[in-house]
Each structure stands twice: as C-alpha cells, then as structure tokens.
Amino acid sequence: MKNKIPILTPYKVAGIYTLLAAIWFLLTAQLTTSSGQAGLAQWVITYHDGFFVVVTALLLYLLIHYQEKPQRDLINRYRDLAISSSDWSWEMDDQFRFTYLSGRLYELTGIESSKLLGRTRWDLAGDQDQEKWNQHRKTLEDHQPFRDFTYQSNMADDSGEIRSFKISGVPVYDDRGQFMGYRGTGTDITEQVQAESAHRESQRMLATLMSNLPGLAYRGGNDADWSLEYASSGTLGLTGYPADDLIEGGKVTLAELILKKDRDYVWQGVQEALDKKRPYQLSYRIKTASGEEKWVWEQGCGVFSADGELQAIEGFITDISESKNAEEELRRVRQYLSNVFDSMPSILVGVDLEGAIIEWNLRAQEDTGFSVDEVRGRFFGDVFPQLESQLEKIRQAIEQRQPMKSENLITDVDHEAHYSDVMVYPLIANGVRGAVIRIDDVTARVRLEEMMVQTEKMLSVGGLAAGMAHEINNPLGAILQGCQNVTRRLSADLPKNQEVADETGVDLQRLHHYLEARGISQFVDDIREAGSRAAKIVADMLAFSRRSEMSFVPADLRELLDISARLAGSDYDLKKKYDFRQIEIVREYDPALGDVKCDKTEIEQVVLNLLKNAAHAMADNPSQGANRIILRTVKEDNFARIEVIDNGPGMDEQTRKRIFEPFFTTKEVGLGTGLGLSVSYFIITEQHNGSMSVESSPGKGARFIIRLPLAQTT
C-alpha cells in the first residue's frame, strides 16, 4: 500500500523555491514599473530582496511545519506500536541477509541481534522441511510478499533451546523500482507451538483412552431418553450397538437399554445428584443387542455454565456383571458359611488375642440371650464367667498354634451341675490373630456314662440275681415238695399211712387233733403258701429279665398290671424308707376293655417304674392318711387308657414341665439317674405310638396317664 502522506524531497523544495522566486520577481517588477509614486517604487527597489527572503522563509517554514507534523505523528504512532507489540521488525538486503533487527527481538526472545545480522534465515533454521524451505526461497527470489511463515531455530539463546518463529514480510524497492530486499515482522510462537503440541498430545491420549476404555464414555442431555451427543467406541463391546446407533437420532436410546424395572431408580439417582451439583454413581441392569442382561456401573456428573445452568451430563458406564456375580457368589458363600456356623449344635465363639469376642453363632445367642452385636467387643470371661479360666489356654493355643481341649468342666446352670467340653482352635490368617472356641454341653454324655457304669453294675446284679433265682428255685422246690409230702403222709385217706400208723401204734385221728390243736397244720400251709409266693416272684423276675426283643402281641392289661404290682411288691429300700407292704394297691379295671396289642415287657417296665417312683415319693413325704396307689384301666374311644394314681406330695409346675426330660431327677445324688420317666415316655410315644402325660399339683398327689392305641401295629 502506497503512503498517502506527502513527503518533501530536495527536488520538491527546489521547485517550490524557484516558483516562489519567479512569482516574487514578477510581482516586484510590475510594482516598480506601474507605480506612479517614486517613493514607493524606490522602497520596493531598496527592500524587495530582504522582503523576499523573509516571505520565502516564512512560507517555507509553514510548508515544512505542515509537512512535518503528520510525519512526526506517524513516526510516534509506529514507535508506540513497535514498543507495545509482541512482534519485532526486521530488514534484509537483496541477498536475503539480515541487515536490521529491532530491539524487541532481544526483549521477546533473548536473542542478541549481533548473532543474526549478516546471516540468512535458512542459516538459522534447525531441522528443515526441504520442500517447505524451497517454496519459501522461491517466494523471496520472486520478490513476493509472504505471511505467517513458521520455522524453528536452535540458535535462539545460550541454552540451545529450539524455538519456533512466525514471520511476515514484503519486498522493498527504491525510487527507481530496484529491489532492495525485504522488510517485515517476526513473532516468537514457541509457547504457542508447545501448547498446540501438548493439546494435540492430550487429544491423542484422550482419543486413545476413549478407544481403550472397557465401556461407554458419553456426553448427553438430561432427558427421559438420555440422548447422547457423544459415545465412545467401547459402546459396541458393552451394548452390542455401534456408538453411532446410540447418538441422538440413532437406532436406539440409552434409556431403552436400561431394564424397565431399573429406569425409575436411574432417573431419580441422577436427578438427585444434579440437584445437589454432585457426581452420581449407580449400579443397574441393561439389555444388550443380543438380549443378554448385564449389570453395569455408571459414574457421571453435570456440566454447568458460569451462572449454574445445566448444559450437559458426562460420564462413564462399564460392565460389572462378573464382579456382581462374584459378589453374589461371595454373598451366597458367606450366607452358606453363616448358616453352617449357626446350624452347629455347639456354641462357637470367635475371639481376638486379648479374648474380646468378635463373632458367635446362633446357638451361643440362644444359650446366653445376647445377640452378636450386644457381645461384640466384650471379653469372653465377662459373658462366660464360669469359663474365665480358659483364657490362658486361648492365648497358649494362639501362641503355640495348637488346638487345646478341656473336658468335663463343671458349670452351674439353674443350681444344677452341668458339664462342658471346651475346644480352642487357633486362628491366624491375613495378619489377624485369634481363636475359635467351641463349647459343647456334654451333661447328657457324662450322665449317660454314669448310667452305663450303673447299668453295668445292674447287669452284673441282674446276672447274679438270675443265677440266684435258679439256685433259689431248687430249695424252694424241695420246701414245697416237702410240705406237700408232709401233708400227704399225715392224711388218713392213704392206706399206706394207716398201715404204718398201725404198725407203730399211732392213732392218726388223735394225731390230727393234736396237729390242729397246736396249729402245726397251719404252719405247714403257711410254709407252702410262702414258698409258692416266692416261686411266683422268682418266675416273674426271670420272665422279665429274659425278654429283650420287642414283640407286639395281644395282652390282658389287668394281668400285666398285676404282674407289675407283684414285681414292685417284692422291691424294698435297703434303708427301709419304703415298703410296698405298707402301700394299699387299689385296682379299678374296665371290664369292657379287652386285650391290647403291645410289648408286654416294655409296658411292664413302664408301669413298674411309675409304681416305684410313687412309692419313693410317698416315702419321702408321707401323707396324712394311708399310702395308696390306684391302678385304673379305661376304654377311651380308640385308646386303652392306663392311670397310675398316688396320694403322695405331688409336684410343682416347674418340675411337672421337666419330668420327662432325660437325666432330670428330684431324687438325691446316687438314688436316681433321671432316665426312668424319659425312657418310659420314649417307649409309649415312639415304640407304641401312644401318649404319656402327668397331672399333678403340690399336696394333691400325681396322676400318670398312658394311652395305647387299640389298633397297635408292629
């Protein structure tokens, strides 16, 4: 562009001065020739030269001053722009060598202009794009202007840092049109180039990241369809749909992929987070293009403007089906282990090294009444004070990594002695040290062992009694036979007796009178009766001891009860606390009740046990009147009802509720095992499909009721 401000050249000044001089001389000559006044003409002739000088000087001053002001303003303007500009100016000669570089070069780049003067631009370039530089040189050689040519140089400063520059220039000609070189500006764009490079790298990394994400990265709107304006390439692997299919206007919307039962949950979760301007995290299910259901996890947030207006939502969705399945499997395994833990019949308690409770099972909760939350953190000895002595064994088991066991520890439960086995298993895993304590109530086992010992004794006694019974039968037989022979030998009806009496001079009639008068015949009858009774008792005992296998046969309950009563009548306490001879046995049998199919030995055992218990109770607490036991049978619908009623002291409600429990007894230690009634209850309910109950209250005796089905089968 040509400069429109006029510039005074020497030629223009000389021309203007010559023009002014010619005009002056013409005017003064005209004045001197035409003037009629000699004085005026003389004055003009005398002073016109000086006046010419003054006038021309004034005119030249005005002209130059008028010319100089816009030039000075222009210079000042360019100077201010140069100072404030982020560019520097340069010039080069017709050989394209730098001849001028402004001071802004050093201020902006730290480059000393002395390093560049006299050198061409390509002398300063670093790695060159040869085609690019060839095009640039051709532009210079064609004297064409150029704009925004960029290049790099490693000669920027002493550090040798490669810097980037952008230059623009125009060719310069002299007045004759001769090419003089180039003039232009330059800018240091190193930071810009680095920023652009970093941005491109960031974009590349972001693109790589997005393409390798195992899921769907998105940007979209907050609408019911969850319309997307961007979806990453991981969309295909997650949903089975290409990313373009989910972008707004595609084949399917993101909302359509979410299972219907989860859509409200997702919408509410996102809206609550957006209302609070917080990120959101959700887990829900989607259905893929193939119809497969997947669990996904989504995290996102809203993008808001400066004034708080929601512009979009951005987030990421990934497949968590595997972890969800693993989580579900872990939950199932934990539930299974918890069920196993809780189903154990033993008390299981987990403690740490100091004995503080960490976990325990349902059995422990049932026995103590405390939930696991109530005892967690409490010391084992506080919850089980009777087992506090085991704390040292717990520590030893953990330190030595060896299980330890304590057997038959005696504890007091409701003022009754109970026995426990305590097993301590060390637990060392994942840096956690502790132990699992197993507590087993072995009261039944201990009492069973005691009962077995007692049973062994009883078996020995039973065997001895059976042998003695056989031995007793021999003298009993001799006694009975002797009594029979004595009676026969004294009888007058036998000819042989009369014959021997005549030979010996004995009058049998007078002898009989003597025997009757002295009661000798009665003595013999009593001996025979006692012997028969003893033989019957021995026979019943042998029959009772020999029957072992169950055999359901029709039985007469009256006979069965009588046998049991006779067996009980032969029993007596070694300390003479009771005697069946002092107890009245009342029999009330229903004549309408026929035979009942049962195991006679088992029922005899049950009735015998009830009779002996009644006798013991009445002996310990004698009633005001005579001791009495009632044996009663009644036909009741399809059952045969047997009642054993005593007028003893009775029992309270607590005792009555536990009367059929194994090992429960009200007798003193050593006098009972607590198994009689529990075994009887088992025989009636389990083996005979009947029922057994008790009615009693303190001071009013006890009534044991047995019901046997009349259609009993084996």
**Residues near 402 by beta carbon (within 8 Å), at least 6 away in sequence:** 426
Q: Minimal CA–CA distance to 447: which of 400, 482, 410?
A: 410
pLDDT at 85: 65
CB 67 within 8 A of CB 28: no
In the chain, which stretches have pLDDT less than 50? 1-3, 547, 574-576, 669-670, 713-714
pLDDT digits (tens, 9 = 90+) for 378-437: 888 788 877 777 777 777 777 777 788 777 777 666 666 777 788 888 876 666 678 888
Pairing of strands 416-429, 404-413: antiparallel
Residue 74 shares a structural domain with residue 115: no
CA dihedral 675, 681, 685, 686 (to 10 degrees): 10
Which ranges in 344-442 belong to alpha helices (H)?
Answer: 362-368, 372-375, 380-383, 391-400
Residue 306 shares a structural domain with residue 420: no
- Domain limits for position 241: 213-326
Residue 587 shares a structural domain with residue 682: yes
Residue 702 shares a structural domain with residue 555: yes
Structural domain includes residue 201 = no
Structural domain includes residue 50 = yes
Structural domain includes residue 270 = yes
Q: Minimal CA–CA distance to 254: which of 174, 317, 333, 345?
A: 317
Q: Tokens representing 82? A: 């140069």
Handedness of CA 222, 224, 230, 236 (dihedral sign): positive
State the CATH number of the domain containing residue 688: 3.30.565.10
pLDDT at 298: 93
pLDDT at 313: 94
Q: Minimal CA–CA distance to 116: which of 151, 146, 156?
A: 156
Q: 3-state DSSP call for residue 99?
A: strand
Structural domain includes residue 380 = yes
Q: Tokens representing 70? A: 């816009």
Residue 315 shares a structural domain with residue 370: no
Domain boundary, last residue among 297, 326, 355: 326
Strand (E) or helix (H) holding 435: strand 432-441
Q: What is the C-alpha to C-alpha distance for residues 605 and 688, in angstroms, rounded to an integer? A: 13
pLDDT at 631: 92
Helix 508-518 / helix 443-490 crossing angle, nearest 10 deg: 140
DSSP 617-683: HHHHS--SS-EEEEEEEEEETTEEEEEEEE-S----HHHHHHTTSTT---SPTTS--S-HHHHHHHI
Structural domain includes residue 333 = no
Residue 169 shares a structural domain with residue 237: no
Domain boundary, last residue among 398, 415, 441: 441
Structural domain includes residue 159 = yes
Residue 143 shares a structural domain with residue 271: no
Q: What is the C-alpha to C-alpha distance for residues 433 and 398, in angstroms, rounded to an integer? A: 7
DSSP 491-522: -TTSHHHHHHHHHHT--HHHHHHHHHHHTHHH
- 562-579: burial string, b at 16+ Cβ within 10 Å, e else: ebbbbbbbeeeeeeeebe
Residue 221 shares a structural domain with residue 291: yes
Q: What is the C-alpha to C-alpha distance for residues 650 and 701, in angstroms, rounded to an integer? A: 4
State the CATH number of the domain containing residue 392: 3.30.450.20
Residue 555 shares a structural domain with residue 704: yes
Strand (E) or helix (H) holding 692: strand 691-696
Structural domain includes residue 279 = yes
Handedness of CA 412, 413, 414, 416 (dihedral sign): negative
Number of domains comprising the chain: 6
Residue 273 shares a structural domain with residue 299: yes
Residue 560 shares a structural domain with residue 492: no
pLDDT at 670: 47
Structural domain includes residue 558 = yes
pTM for the predicted model, two decimal places: 0.41
Domain boundary, last residue among 196, 223, 241: 196
Q: 3-state DSSP call for residue 371?
A: coil
Residue 409 shares a structural domain with residue 469: no
DSSP 171-190: EEE-TT--EEEEEEEEEE-H
pLDDT at 72: 66
pLDDT digits (tens, 9 = 90+) for 556-578: 888 889 888 887 776 655 444 66
Q: What type of residue is 609?
A: N
